Structure 1
Amino acid sequence: MQYRQASAVTQSGQGNFPPVALEPKAASGGIGSVAATSYADYKVIRRNGAVVGFEPSKIALAMTKAFIAVRGGQGAASAAIREQVEKLTANVVAALLRRQPAGGTFHIEDIQDQVELSLMRDGAHDVARAYVLYREKRAQERAKQTAEHRPAVPALTMIENGQRVPFDLGRVRALIESACEGLAEYVAPDAIVAETIKNLYDGVPLDEVYKSAILAARALIETDPAYTYVTARLLLHTVRREVLGEEVTQAAMRERYAEYFPRFIKYGIEAELLDERLAQFDLKRLGAALDADRDLQFNYLGLQTLYDRYFLHRDGRRFELPQAFFMRVAMGLALNEIDREARAIEFYEALSSFDFMSSTPTLFNSGTRHSQLSSCYLTTVSDDLDGIFEAIKENALLAKYAGGLGNDWTPVRALGSHIKGTNGKSQGVVPFLKVVNDTAVAVNQGGKRKGAVCCYLETWHLDIEEFLELRKNTGDDRRRTHDMNTANWIPDLFMKRVMEGADWTLFSPSDVPDLHDKFGRAFEEAYLRYEEKAARGEIRLFKKVPAVQLWRKMLTMLFETGHPWITFKDACNIRSPQQHVGVIHSSNLCTEITLNTSATEIAVCNLGSVNLPAHMKPDGRGGFELDHAKLKKTIRTAMRMLDNVIDINYYAVPKARNSNLRHRPVGLGVMGFQDCLHLMRTPYASDGAVEFADRSMEAVCYYAYWASTELAEERGRYSSFAGSLWDRGILPQDTVKLLAEERGGYVEVDTSSTMDWEALRARIRQYGMRNSNCVAIAPTATISNIVGVDASIEPTFQNLFVKSNLSGEFTVVNEHLVRDLKRLGLWDEVMV
């Protein structure tokens, strides 16, 4: 019988034998007689990546050759040997099929491992030993062949320090292999080297050589998510060269960080970028706390984002390294602490471990001379020219240092309204919104990210129909706002009219001035009175439209342009713990927080998010569960950091300072919710996911409220606490009942709980709350990229996609899916 090779094995001669994977030209008898079609659902991956059918006859023939090589040619004729081979082959096949009873793919190495194990268990130790030695010998031969067939490097020179020197392949290979350290099972350094060389030319600058290596690794990310970490490490090498002025290995950085950090602080202060108070810290102690190995946590998207937009730079050159970046942020948040070093290290640990991440403005500006750390600002625009342009000016000042904006434009009179001062007619809200749009584009937050604003308008405003069309790509471009976000601020009465199929009346706010400050039943009563006045002719400027028609237009525009967003005025106000001090007139830029605004107060939200998958632990049953002890610890630190933001923050507008210090709202959120579901192997659209959402958010809220009471015990309650729902013993989950009572139903929410809420109520009665608002689920669009998890509570966008942002385009692969496909033996080039 003749054989030909399969996979990467060679023909055996006397005294040698091939491992499993010989392909027979013909086979008969024993296991070899089993038809290949019996195993049609199983495949084998060769070492060259080719996928072939699974045939047990190959295992039997290979083992027969193994016995011949060890025990001589006569053994093959022995009935005992044939029986032993059949039994061993059956054992191997059974073991493989047990792993994947429904079909799947085996790697050639897995099959050979199983053969080796089967031989030893059967007592054929002489054959097993020879088999092991042969596999090792063939592995060495393949490695040698691979080295011999590596791409020839053309005679190149490169430019280093202004001098033309020979191209050093060994240096590049060493860098790439170091970047692949710990990932060798998943990545191929030679492939990166080959692709790097392919893109080089004679006289290439050394910087371009390293950039070519980054691009070569980046191009392979879609073949295995492990390459995103290789690419990040190659980028990290470039960042270190730029910052330190020389090449430093990962091992050397473990010592170098402590030496570099004090010089970094000094240089930043001299460059007038860092707050001079940072020099008062014990920099030696803080430098010693920096953990260089945490640089290796980044994926490529995360590190590139930090490099492009977050790391401090002077004259276009970065001088901040990743761990120095986290410590700088931590120091900025610890400026007012009694034991500043201990708190800075505590904050650094939370940030650098990716357990918690502050919002983008905090990461941008903490520790700098202009420490604008708050994420979003909510304003109400007055109905006069001074008020309108004052609001636009405030938008510009707040956006200058990375603040996002939510504007309430409902008070501004509608198109055609009478203007007493000029005896003319108003042009309505839309022309001013065009100015707001262009202001946001002009003030691009120091070049770090685009200015961003969301304008809110109540559904009864006479300009609402034009407002709905602001983001359309057709029509008069002078009445379009292509860069600005818009949102509907909808009272419950409108939805009742939609359900009843009734008409809806639109007014100019100049004729119905008190509607803006009313909600719930009070709004409904006032609105009905104004409708009666309009019917009697006492209000001339109004318009009746079918409520369903207006609702349909809202949904049509939402489908067509993604705007305006849908937000509900009454639910936000009825459930607000701050009803006693004002009315909520809008949400913020990303609609995650609802705070009261007025002519004298600009509401401020101070955000940060817990990395939820970092707080999962094995449950002892092969799955994962929430680690409550770690979550409580992280949230206690996070709430302290967020509360510190309020006092340290740079306020470009006095009205924002007044509001923030008076009410002290913070918004603790989460990110990586979908990653947690992957760990628990729970579908996003399932009852299990809903249950986990309920219990995880209950825990986050409970620990956040508890931490706020601890801060109140230490620092005092917020100044407007008296009269709030907190003060009245009404917690946020209790307000669901208030909403149901106000609406007369229409609320279906699971109100069950698992935490000791009575103990928390007792603490609030005793110490009060430090913060009027504690929790807000932010979108985490950028900080989730830094950490490398799915954004917020959103599902994974796609399993493989290209993400575009200010830093470029990035291939994103679902690592959880790839892990499972590998486990099933299904991750190969065909799958990609």
Structure 2
Amino acid sequence: MPNARVVLEKRYLKKEDDGTYETPEAMFYRVASVVAGAEKNYGINEKAIKDLTREFYTAMANLEFMPNSPTLMNAGRDLGQLSACFVLPVEDSMEDIFDALKNAAIIHKSGGGTGFNFSRLRQKNSMVRSTGGVASGPVSFMKVFNAATEAVKQGGTRRGANMGILRVDHPDILEFIRCKEDNKDINNFNISVAVTETFMRAVEANSHYDLIDPHSGKEVGQLPAKDVFAKIVDHAWRNGEPGIIFVDRMNRDNPTPKVGEIEATNPCGEQPLLPNEACNLGSINLKLMITEKDGQPAIDWERLGYITRLATRFLDDVIDVNQYPLPVIEKMVKGNRKIGLGVMGFADLLILLKIPYTSDEGAAYAEKIMEFIRTESRIESQRLAKERSVFPNFKGSMYDGKIKLRNATLTTIAPTGTISMICSASSGVEPLFAVAYTKTVMDGTALIEVNPLFEEYARKYGFYSHELMAKTAERGTVSGLTEVPQWVQDIFVTAQEIKPEWHIKIQAAFQQYTDNAVSKTINFANSATRDDVAEAFRLAFELGCKGITVYRDGSREQQVLSAGTKDCEKSKETTTPPLSSCQEAEEISKKKPQETIVPRPRPPVTVGVTEKIKIGCGNLYVSVNADEKSICEVFTNTGRAGGCSSQSEATSRLISIAMRSGISVDAIIEQIRGIRCPACIRKEGVNVTSCPDAIARVIRKYKDIGANGNTAIIRRNQAEEHVSPGLEKTEKAVIKKAQVAVAIDNACPDCGMPVNHESGCVVCIHCGYSKCG
């Protein structure tokens, strides 16, 4: 699996002093031996530890079980921080706020993600007696946390991810709901509203609900619940933010209520945690839990039970060998010993069983599988409790007097973006993103990647052809293809084709037997209405979900608030009242002097190319995009090595606006080429004099893109040279088309291809990039 190896090298494999990487097998053994070493604490002899190391190694090497990313990255290395999820308290004093900020930076540096509930902070403009001033409010401090996250590179591999939560009864709730209207604001956070049962009942009754001063605990006003709910829905419809967590429901299942109240989750929402608590996660690959019985595919329950029990022991051992970023976190984690065992490859399992994702049978399998996993995990936790004792905070827990367990929680359904790529499995409990797609390999060439199960079925049932594979890659889906039998179309349904209610039904089915929560994105077509989103929120509440995140296709590919009036005129035709921003835009446009040059709008679809250039600070990725008229935009990304990212972005933005204002491309090239930067000039092997010079060279090279609509010139020779063996002319055409990248705001920063929104994260299936928050 070459794609899996690329992901491993980029994110997980240890780099040796000579520049080579450890092998995947060495990585798995490194992790297995470190984790099994925890058994020494319980008097296990060396032979038994070696045997357990072998079992841990085999489960990972066979891709049947995979721990969360920090465990793969850091076990057996100096950092040694193995947990993915943390929640930090944010108390209402300047000292406590900045303590939380400092602790978050430490956690991000170690490879973890953080969740915060800002509801303890007093509302904006309220009096601060100690200083005589006024409070700036939760949203202003979220921006401070966001800026700090931007400055800290997580574990040396990726920027930190955060969850920001505010209770629906906080006086600043309306400002919080709209704080991410612009996708570029607070961009290192996912945000969710902590919704109470009282609020949901008020929505149903169309009544008002109380706003509570967090400092005094007293009511300070009321809002109409239905209107607030509508605002949450509106913003989620526009760009997927905010999500909702049903906080009372999370506390109903809080296993240790005497220790504290759950008020926040990790960045993707699936792990409710107490303040200063962390959790380590792992996932079983359901795709490999299929065997043949009486000539038919069936779930191998015996193997699934064994892997579940082994994974439970593995995750409990991780708690002991983990190097925690803060002493207070170590105390909380070891007090509750929470683990989060989940699954990936659920969509693959249903395909192998020939069961549609959108079926009652599919939902029934979700329940049955998760009930089995929780039962087997509890059996192992009981065994560990007998060997090692119950978790220290057991007395007074929800299990006290009922069942003795080693771990306060056992199951979680987490997103599995990169680890599912390593395992060649579908992500978490999500459906397929695409049946076939194009992926970018390391030299920049785009090649067709077909779901192996689809190709297997196509060959087995006699409808395979090169043309069909190419056509599927172009469309991403097999829906409506007459060459494909209907039953195959039904089981290879993709995320965008599934009605939202089925997404929610699957989430609710898994939630029934999940101790913590389920990370799942509810996908909507671009044509979905606000009423559709509202109905999804209500259904998630009714079916027992602990939270919900939605994403409407294409909703992040454009500015949420349009500056033009054309879209505003369209909005007036809908049943939803037009936004006030439209009226403001109209007033601004009336006041503009007639002689002012106004750039033409950015086209909804562009074509272009991304080129990697070596600069003094590392690599610069320059993308040049055009429509049928001419080049209309340029954007840059400095990659992971750093560089003057803000200056490069500013340069590219100004170039883009100049191009759309009619400034000659040659004139722009003349102005920026040859600009000199000491970092480039002094660096051996660098052939440009600065970032602007690099941009100028790429523009000059591709300035004819768009002329006469001739987009096929982009890397034409490369596409023909790198066609895989056996591809027909139809497939070559698809590859050429894939090389002409569609420029959208949610393009992958590494390879420029579109990213997939799933489980609160963005994931690039083409090169392995992922980001949460």
TM-score by length of 1: 0.54
Residue of structure 1 aligned with 2:388, choices 684, 691, 715: 715
Contact 2:86 2:273 in 1 (8 A): no
SS of 2:467's partner is: coil
Judged with a 3 Å threshold, the aligned counterparts in structure 2 of structure 1 residues 687 and 609 are, in CA distance, closer, same or farther, namely same
Residue of structure 2 aligned with 1:702, choices 375, 380, 392: 375
Name the larger-Rg structure.
Answer: 1
Residue of structure 1 aligned with 2:293, choices 601, 611, 619: 619
Q: CA deviation at 1:778?
A: 0.6
What pairs up with 1:338-737 in 2 under 5 angstroms? 338=44, 339=46, 340-473=49-182, 480-512=185-217, 530-531=218-219, 542-597=220-275, 602-620=276-294, 622-729=295-402
Task: Please tell me whether residue 309 in structure 1 is matched to residue 14 in structure 2.
Answer: no
Counterpart AA for 2:274? N
Contact 1:442 1:451 in 2 (8 A): no
Q: Which residue of 2 aligns with 1:800?
A: 436
What pairs up with 1:272-311 in 2 under 5 angstroms? 299-311=1-13
- Looking at structure 2, the residues matched to 359 and 383 of structure 1 have their Cα atoms a distance apart, in angstroms, of 33
Partner deviation per Cα, 1:561-619 (whole Å, 9 max, x = no partner): 2111111011111122222322111121111122322xxxx111111111112112113
Partner deviation per Cα, 1:638-658 (whole Å, 9 max, x = no partner): 111101111111111111101
Q: Which residue of 1 aligns with 2:497?
A: none
Residue of structure 1 aligned with 2:408, choices 772, 782, 806: 772
Judged with a 3 Å threshold, the aligned counterparts in structure 2 of structure 1 residues 448 and 804 are, in CA distance, closer, same or farther, namely farther
Counterpart AA for 1:577? P
Contact 2:416 2:428 in 1 (8 A): yes
Contact 1:410 1:457 in 2 (8 A): yes
Contact 2:9 2:21 in 1 (8 A): no
Contact 1:308 1:807 in 2 (8 A): no
Counterpart AA for 1:614? L
Judged with a 3 Å threshold, the aligned counterparts in structure 2 of structure 1 residues 676 and 383 are, in CA distance, closer, same or farther, namely same
Task: Please tell me whether residue 821 in structure 1 is matched to residue 458 in structure 2.
Answer: yes
Q: Which residue of 2 aligns with 1:330?
A: 32
Judged with a 3 Å threshold, the aligned counterparts in structure 2 of structure 1 residues 802 and 423 are, in CA distance, closer, same or farther, namely farther
Counterpart AA for 2:458? L
Counterpart AA for 2:417? A
Judged with a 3 Å threshold, the aligned counterparts in structure 2 of structure 1 residues 806 and 662 are, in CA distance, closer, same or farther, namely farther
Contact 1:309 1:448 in 2 (8 A): yes
- Looking at structure 1, the residues matched to 251 and 122 of structure 2 have their Cα atoms a distance apart, in angstroms, of 23
Judged with a 3 Å threshold, the aligned counterparts in structure 2 of structure 1 residues 810 and 359 are, in CA distance, closer, same or farther, namely farther
SS of 1:712's partner is: helix
Task: Please tell me whether residue 830 in structure 1 is matched to residue 467 in structure 2.
Answer: yes
Contact 2:108 2:155 in 1 (8 A): no
Contact 1:486 1:565 in 2 (8 A): yes
Q: CA deviation at 1:818?
A: 2.0
Q: CA deviation at 1:827?
A: 2.2
- Looking at structure 1, the residues matched to 94 and 296 of structure 2 have their Cα atoms a distance apart, in angstroms, of 61
- Looking at structure 2, the residues matched to 419 and 616 of structure 1 have their Cα atoms a distance apart, in angstroms, of 62
Contact 1:821 1:827 in 2 (8 A): yes
- Looking at structure 2, the residues matched to 332 and 770 of structure 1 have their Cα atoms a distance apart, in angstroms, of 20
Task: Please tell me whether residue 785 in structure 1 is matched to residue 444 in structure 2.
Answer: no
TM-score by length of 2: 0.58
Judged with a 3 Å threshold, the aligned counterparts in structure 2 of structure 1 residues 711 and 686 are, in CA distance, closer, same or farther, namely same
Contact 1:584 1:596 in 2 (8 A): yes
- Looking at structure 2, the residues matched to 326 and 648 of structure 1 have their Cα atoms a distance apart, in angstroms, of 16
Structure 1 segments unaligned to the other structure (5+ residues): 1-298, 513-529, 532-541, 730-763
Q: CA deviation at 1:506?
A: 2.6
Q: CA deviation at 1:326?
A: 0.5
Counterpart AA for 2:262? I
Counterpart AA for 1:667? G
Partner deviation per Cα, 1:222-244 (whole Å, 9 max, x = no partner): xxxxxxxxxxxxxxxxxxxxxxx
- Looking at structure 1, the residues matched to 59 and 29 of structure 2 have their Cα atoms a distance apart, in angstroms, of 10
- Looking at structure 2, the residues matched to 677 and 472 of structure 1 have their Cα atoms a distance apart, in angstroms, of 37
Judged with a 3 Å threshold, the aligned counterparts in structure 2 of structure 1 residues 639 and 667 are, in CA distance, closer, same or farther, namely same
State the superposition RMSD in angstroms: 2.0
- Looking at structure 2, the residues matched to 722 and 625 of structure 1 have their Cα atoms a distance apart, in angstroms, of 41
Contact 2:123 2:171 in 1 (8 A): yes
- Looking at structure 1, the residues matched to 455 and 281 of structure 2 have their Cα atoms a distance apart, in angstroms, of 33
Contact 1:470 1:482 in 2 (8 A): no
Contact 2:347 2:429 in 1 (8 A): yes
Judged with a 3 Å threshold, the aligned counterparts in structure 2 of structure 1 residues 303 and 770 are, in CA distance, closer, same or farther, namely same
Q: CA deviation at 1:491?
A: 0.7
Contact 1:301 1:810 in 2 (8 A): no
Judged with a 3 Å threshold, the aligned counterparts in structure 2 of structure 1 residues 381 and 580 are, in CA distance, closer, same or farther, namely same
- Looking at structure 1, the residues matched to 62 and 51 of structure 2 have their Cα atoms a distance apart, in angstroms, of 16
Higher relative contact order (CA 8 A, sep 6+): 2
Which has the larger share of helix?
A: 1
Counterpart AA for 1:510? H
Q: CA deviation at 1:804?
A: 8.4
Contact 2:128 2:135 in 1 (8 A): yes
Counterpart AA for 2:239? T
- Looking at structure 2, the residues matched to 720 and 709 of structure 1 have their Cα atoms a distance apart, in angstroms, of 15
- Looking at structure 2, the residues matched to 453 and 316 of structure 1 have their Cα atoms a distance apart, in angstroms, of 35
Give the stretch that moved more between structures: 311-320 or 638-647.
311-320
Q: CA deviation at 1:624?
A: 2.1
Contact 1:777 1:792 in 2 (8 A): yes
Contact 1:458 1:489 in 2 (8 A): yes
Counterpart AA for 1:376? C
Contact 2:16 2:22 in 1 (8 A): no
Q: CA deviation at 1:488?
A: 1.1
Q: CA deviation at 1:803?
A: 6.6
- Looking at structure 2, the residues matched to 314 and 810 of structure 1 have their Cα atoms a distance apart, in angstroms, of 31
State the aligned residue count: 461
- Looking at structure 2, the residues matched to 807 and 444 of structure 1 have their Cα atoms a distance apart, in angstroms, of 26
Partner deviation per Cα, 1:471-506 (whole Å, 9 max, x = no partner): 2228xx8xx312311111111100001000012333
- Looking at structure 2, the residues matched to 392 and 438 of structure 1 have their Cα atoms a distance apart, in angstroms, of 10
Q: CA deviation at 1:336?
A: 2.6
Q: CA deviation at 1:811?
A: 5.5
Q: CA deviation at 1:508?
A: 3.0
Counterpart AA for 1:404? G
SS of 1:317's partner is: coil
Which has the larger share of strand?
A: 2
Q: CA deviation at 1:812?
A: 4.3
Q: Which residue of 1 aligns with 2:620?
A: none
Contact 2:335 2:393 in 1 (8 A): yes
Q: CA deviation at 1:725?
A: 1.4
SS of 1:473's partner is: coil
